[in-house]
Amino acid sequence: MSLLVVGTVAFDEIETNRGRSGKILGGAATYVGLAASHLISDIQMSAVVGGDFPQEYLDLFVQRKLDIRGIHIIPEEKSFYWSGRYHENMNQRDTLATELNVLAGFDPVLPQTYRQSDFLMLGNLTPSIQRSVIEQMDKRPRLICMDTMNFWMDTAWDDLLSVVGMVDVLAVNEEEARQLSGEHSLVQAARKIQAMGPPCIIVKRGEHGALLFYGDEKFYAPAMPLDRVVDPTGAGDSFAGGFMGYLCKVNDTSFESMKSGLIYGAALASFSVEKFGVKGLLDIGEQDIQDRLVDFVKLVSFSV
Amino acid sequence: MSLLVVGTVAFDEIETNRGRSGKILGGAATYVGLAASHLISDIQMSAVVGGDFPQEYLDLFVQRKLDIRGIHIIPEEKSFYWSGRYHENMNQRDTLATELNVLAGFDPVLPQTYRQSDFLMLGNLTPSIQRSVIEQMDKRPRLICMDTMNFWMDTAWDDLLSVVGMVDVLAVNEEEARQLSGEHSLVQAARKIQAMGPPCIIVKRGEHGALLFYGDEKFYAPAMPLDRVVDPTGAGDSFAGGFMGYLCKVNDTSFESMKSGLIYGAALASFSVEKFGVKGLLDIGEQDIQDRLVDFVKLVSFSV
């Protein structure tokens, strides 16, 4: 089974109380793809970068078996750049700079080989672009998951609702779930969002884990309490990458598989935040992931 | 086995976006005792109230099989009164009024029959009073759990540390754990607090559940996502009551029992917040609790 990932591939520059990253590889699609690459090998990347994007990053993608034919390079422009500073609590951050550059004109045309993909992960992008990607598919993917943010709720409400109505899984944080639904209780928020289309809602809660609402069922995926969080950037995208990678691997979209997928996602997110940038995702192997999964099993095991 | 509960028995007056409670029964020991009363019948209450405390509340305690010989009544004074207003998000609240009244002079003298108690729950009180209770025991209880708050860290640091060094379980919220330890990571915070004495640290995270650190082990007890939170007052105390009630019932303090106890605590807390005041704890029976425990099992069940 193949996974198509559409989103940003970019430069990040991050400051935390653990230090400064310098200008490093970032972007939602980057984290999703690299996280998923621990589980599956057929991953198609759709993104746009500028002439300043280092060949070594593209080589890294290829080395991780990511298909980069859909990464469009615009030589005369610069790559998307984001810079931010995290507060002591790591849950809040200030954006220091956002330079859209190539992203301003991003309108992906999927390579023909991408259009049969079985699983589709739509990173946080303009809703009309997310819809255009869905419409380019030759067949309806088995599962479509989308990320979004409150900015689109403020600026592109109708477009956003039309895409939300086309997907299977919406992944948002607590505030976004509340803003989208107008409900404070996450249970009620999920029910209202389900009525907009997607049967599955993932509410991401950062260091508190994530909640999955699947029809009338619900599941709580904890986050692993860690000794040291170095850089939370990309945690949600690594989480999505682990989740979608797992579903694609088992080629199943049942509640049971989604629950397992969320734990894989939580495991990959926990590695991601332990180092700056994507390093935490690159420094691990299969055994590390298996060991962390066992830690997750232990973390919530009890008998009553 | 018997459980001794020392803490406030009081009046609360609560405003939330769900309405106003009027002047109702409140206090930490009240919630602890009533929650625990669903699991065990030998519960000794130590508290102080004024002449204004209604006989019907005392009758309610007796009806729930609570031993009230240690509830001291000072007829010429008024009971402790707290009034607060919750924000829309229910995680924040403004205190509108705190009238210590009888609590200002609270210096419990335990009835002789209380001094052999096997389990001791010390509600949030002046640390020197918590210590005095421990010192009045004829024998060291099998397990002592204490609650506290950041106010005592600011005003009674040395006293607080001396009590912390005498207990088995410290139950605090995230901010309190961070302030007490000076560490942001809860894993590191727990380790530092363990070095102050208690081998077990419970970090309460409200709607995100609670973390237990037991030696080098850790456990994540989720909170149940609810359709409607009416009144969060007493959630942490109901949680503590379920936890201590369970340990007392099984007469065991192992990691396994503590994990189960936390789920009982989370279940009782989930009932507590569904109605104003203690009503959520009174309107349930054994089957309701069993059903909710099954919900908790389902909430975090997965296979990887």
Mean residue pLDDT across chain B: 96
Q: Yes or no: say if B145 and B120 are a contact pair by the CB < 8 Å rule.
A: yes
Instruction: Give the pLDDT mean for A274-293.
Output: 97
Give which of A173, A229, A300 to mutate to test B binding, by max B Cβ within 10 Å. Answer: A300
Q: Is residue A205 part of a domain?
A: no
Give pLDDT, residue B92: 85
Q: Is residue B304 part of a domain?
A: no
CATH classification at residue B44:
3.40.1190.20
Give pLDDT, residue B150: 93
Of the candidate ranges A85-89, B168-172, B223-227, the one whose mean pLDDT is the lowest: A85-89
Give pLDDT, residue B214: 98
Backbone angles phi, psi at B95, to 5 degrees: -80, 125
Q: Which pLDDT band holds residue B88 (cuts at 50, 70, 90)?
A: confident
SS3 A227: coil
Tell me whether strands A81-86 and A10-16 are parallel, antiparallel or unpaired: parallel
Q: Of B90, B225, B228, which has the smallest distance from its Cβ to A211's Cβ?
A: B225
Least Cα separation, residue B81 to chain A (angstroms): 29
Q: Is residue B151 part of a domain?
A: yes
Q: Quick check: B259 contacting A, CB < 8 Å? A: yes
Q: Quick check: B286 contacting A, CB < 8 Å? A: no
Q: Quick check: B18 contacting A, CB < 8 Å? A: no
Q: Which pLDDT band holds residue A60 (cuts at 50, 70, 90)?
A: very high
Taking an 8 Å cut-off on Cβ atoms, the answer to whether A225 and B219 are in contact is no
- Identify the helix (H) or strand (E) that includes residue B219: strand B217-221
Q: Yes or no: say if A133 and A120 are a contact pair by the CB < 8 Å rule.
A: yes
Instruction: Give the pLDDT mean for B93-114.
Output: 95
pLDDT > 70: percent of chain B:
100
Instruction: Give the pLDDT mean for B61-87.
Output: 97
> Is the pLDDT at B114 greater than 90, yes or no?
yes
Q: Is residue A265 part of a domain?
A: yes
Taking an 8 Å cut-off on Cβ atoms, the answer to whether A227 and B185 are in contact is yes
Give pLDDT, residue A271: 98
Q: Of B88, B187, B301, which has the smallest distance from its Cβ to A227's Cβ?
A: B187
Task: Note the pLDDT tens digit of each residue in B115-125.
Answer: 999 999 999 99
- Identify the helix (H) or strand (E) that includes residue B147: strand B143-147
Instruction: Give the pLDDT mean for A280-296.
Output: 98
Instruction: Give the pLDDT mean for A283-291.
Output: 98
Of the candidate ranges A40-54, A90-104, A267-281, B195-209, the one whose mean pLDDT is the lowest: A90-104
Chain A residues with beta carbon closer than 8 angstroms to that of B304? 260, 263-264, 293, 296-297
Q: Of B184, B297, B304, which has the smallest distance from its Cβ to A297's Cβ?
A: B304
Q: Is residue B192 part of a domain?
A: yes
Instruction: Give the pLDDT mean for B104-116.
Output: 96
Q: Of A209, A218, A260, which has the smallest distance from its Cβ to B304's Cβ?
A: A260
Instruction: Give the pLDDT mean for B217-222.
Output: 98
Taking an 8 Å cut-off on Cβ atoms, the answer to whether B260 and A188 are in contact is no
Backbone angles phi, psi at A224, to 5 degrees: -75, 125
CA–CA separation, B202 and B78 (whole Å) = 33
Domain hosting B49: range is 3-299
Chain A residues with beta carbon closer than 8 angstroms to that of B299? 218-220
Better-predicted residue by pLDDT, A87 or A6: A6
DSSP-assigned states of every residue in B45-106: EEEEEETTS-HHHHHHHHHTTEEEEEEEEETTS---EEEEEE-TTSS-EEEEEEE-GGGGG-
CA–CA separation, B37 and B42 (whole Å) = 8
Q: What is the model's pTM?
A: 0.95
Instruction: Give the pLDDT mean for B95-113.
Output: 95
Q: Is residue A113 part of a domain?
A: yes
CA–CA separation, B124 and B130 (whole Å) = 8
Taking an 8 Å cut-off on Cβ atoms, the answer to whether A302 and B222 are in contact is no
Taking an 8 Å cut-off on Cβ atoms, the answer to whether B225 and A299 are in contact is no
CA–CA separation, B37 and B44 (whole Å) = 11
Give pLDDT, residue B18: 80
Radius of gyration in angstroms for the set of CA atoms belonging to chain A, rounded to a whole number:
18
CA–CA separation, B233 and B183 (whole Å) = 28
Q: Is residue A304 part of a domain?
A: no
Task: Note the pLDDT tens digit of each residue in A251-272.
Answer: 999 999 999 999 999 999 999 9
The chain A residue lying nearest B188, using CA atoms, is A227
* Total domains in the fold of chain B: 1
Chain A residues with beta carbon closer than 8 angstroms to that of B186? 225
Least Cα separation, residue A177 to chain B (angstroms): 13
Interface confidence, given as ipTM, is 0.93
Q: Quick check: B219 contacting A, CB < 8 Å? A: yes
Q: Is residue A95 part of a domain?
A: yes
SS3 A57: helix
pLDDT > 70: percent of chain A:
100
Q: Quick check: A62 contacting B, CB < 8 Å? A: no
Instruction: Give the pLDDT mean for A186-210.
Output: 97
Task: Note the pLDDT tens digit of each residue in B128-147.
Answer: 999 999 999 999 999 999 99
